[in-house]
Amino acid sequence: MRTLLFLLLHLSVALLLSACISEQHETLSGQFEDSHTRAEKIQLLLLDAQAASSPEKEQIKLQVAALLIQEQQLELANKLLQDIDTDRLGKNHYAHFIVLNSQLKLLLGNYQQALDALATPRLTDSYDQLDLEQQLAVSETRASAYALQGQHYASAQQRIYIDSLLPEELKESNREAIWRSLMQIQIDQLNQYWKSNQDDFQGWIELALIAKDNQGDLDEQLRQLEHWELKWASHPAIENMPGGLELIKELAANRPQQIALLVPLSGKLAPYGKAVRDGFIAALYQTKQRGGATPRLKVYNSDAGEQFIPLYYQAVAEGAELVIGPLDKKKLQLLFDEVILPVPTLALNRVDNYGQAPELLFQFGLAPQDEASQIADIAYLKNHKQAMIIAPKGEWGEKVSNSFAKRWQQLEGVVIVRSVFSGQKDYSSSIKNALSLQRSEARGKRIASLAGQAIEFTPRRRQDIDMVFLLARPDEARSIKPLLDYHYAGDLPIYASSRVYSGPAPKKNHDINGIRFIDIPWILNPPSELHRQISQQTNSNKQLQRMIALGIDSFQLHPRLRQLDEIGTSRLYGNTGTLKLNSNREIERRLLFAKIKNGRARLTPHADQPTLTREGYNHANKTAEENFW
């Protein structure tokens, strides 16, 4: 009884504040009225619960908890759920309690706790006896928890299991989720799973392998896809091919016959331009050797002294149906100044805040700001909220740390403090200041002075930080991480950009063990046949290797730009990351996540990006909710 009165009091305050905020910002009056209606319904239900006896009281509390979660009153929902005597609930109401409790834990970032709750023996033992809506809610909640844990195979299994049981209006979103999970799995693992599965699941895995394993050869992908359609004529995915696969035949028939590659082959950017060229040509010849069709290629030196725009139009006049380049941002800006481009153009860099790009201009670069945003996403899904940024002084450090901060704030995280270093001499002082250790030491001295005698005192760092975002080169990180340990911050998880790792070195990397970072598949995945061939003939410099990967992916992208442009769920699984096109025709990259262990990068699965939300239920749970009451 006291708990319900407590909830009524706190709920009135919370909903009043929520309504005031909604009144200030709501533009759709219908939504505003719904919010008021739900708030009033919660209060009335709590009053009903006070007067009810078991099991009706517990059932009403479940209704209230569901509404509280929809209102984002997560703490109040948690208090109410903890107050429910689950022994009073029948099997279907108990299943609903577990679903609500697990959904709440997912929203709070406690993914393993959610999975543990869903594995409760009382639930699993009675699963087959539950109403269909409750079975669906349990399975989809479990699938969401697996995806957030990075257990993508298990998530796909759950969703494939329930697909035929879902109402028609929910099947499309469920199949999109199946596809997203399968696309997170490495090819070698997909091959292993394919051997151990049958029926629809095997069909899904075969389709995923076709999508991921033929990025550079449309003809081979089309051949395998047509074979799959004959073999799996009744498969659920055949109704609406995922990831834009339905366009493959049309893409193969309409690919460009001649391409111009405009990159710097002289001047200060020449090493990078040559690396892009080498990667592009290597991918082209690999496709040709395998029997695939390839375009004619003409390479132009964009730094040869000619004006870039005349050179661009020269390439078009000489037959180019698609242009790849430039690499230089200033030259890219010149393309922005053109009102209309004559052919699709894939730039190898990206320009921000320079007006509207021409319609046929696509931008593809290796911007470090993308890494910062993705680190923010990963840290958010690890339930971190309060960040410390450590970055070098200068334009690069400021630009990348600002990108992290911007994304972090969008996710409702807080940057508590920044530590900016200019060199090795100020690593310690900048970190010490950021952790407020000097204040703690001063406080200790005052206490000793007041006591009139020496006392034992251990400085205490500020306690409002739960993670570190580190921008540093390997040699800088090898000094900074031990300093964090020394300054009583060794318990804070450290997330870093790709710059932190230069390759396996068990002894040399001892001091950066434990750091989590992201990097491109070309660097972190086991070397492919093409990778080994290129490595034997080219510079092993890490930055040039990235440019080689950019060149390879440019070749793989060139016939698929329309696919990415027209089908929002389409992805290219490249060497620079999982690539998609945003509304500004910029190629966005999703990189691999790794942790340094024993001096080596160890890949770590991470959450499915579309789960980045604090909104309440998924579709199946909403359906169960509506049908249950």
Please check the confidence at residue 621 and state whether its pLDDT lies above 80: no
Would you put residue 417 in left (φ > 0), alpha (ψ -120 to 50) or beta? beta
Q: What is the pLDDT of residues 307-364, one digit of tens each?
A: 999 999 999 999 999 999 999 999 999 999 998 999 999 999 999 888 889 999 999 9
| Euclidean distance between CA atoms 53 and 84, whole angstroms | 12
Omega within 30 of 0 (cis) for the link into 559: no
CB of 202 within 8 A of CB of 194? yes
Q: What is the pLDDT of residues 81-102, one digit of tens each?
A: 998 999 999 999 999 999 999 9
24 or 83, greater pLDDT: 83
Among 76-80, 180-184, 405-409, 424-428, which range has the highest average pLDDT?
405-409
Among residues 503, 484, 486, 505, the alpha carbon closest in space to that of 495 is found at 484
- The predicted model gives 190-212 an average pLDDT of 86
The tally of CA atoms less than 13 A away on the side-chain side of residue 281 is 12
pLDDT at position 452 is 52
Instruction: Please provide the average confidence, as pLDDT, over all residues in the chain.
Output: 86
Omega within 30 of 0 (cis) for the link into 271: no
CA 15 to chain centre: 32
476 or 72, greater pLDDT: 476
CB of 494 within 8 A of CB of 514? yes
Please check the confidence at residue 538 and state whether its pLDDT lies above 90: no
Distant-in-sequence contacts of 570-574, Cβ < 8 A, 24+ apart: 570/243, 570/244, 571/183, 571/243, 572/215, 573/183, 573/211, 573/212, 573/215, 574/215, 574/521, 574/549
CB of 315 within 8 A of CB of 298? yes
| Euclidean distance between CA atoms 572 and 158, whole angstroms | 25
CB of 46 within 8 A of CB of 17? no
- The predicted model gives 519-526 an average pLDDT of 94
| Euclidean distance between CA atoms 310 and 37, whole angstroms | 64
Domains and CATH numbers, the chain: 2-193 (1.25.40), 194-253 (no CATH), 258-366+525-604 (3.40.50.2300), 369-519 (3.40.50.2300)
Please check the confidence at residue 458 and state whether its pLDDT lies above 60: no
Instruction: Read off the tokens for 504.
Output: 């396996």
SS3 of 491, please?
coil
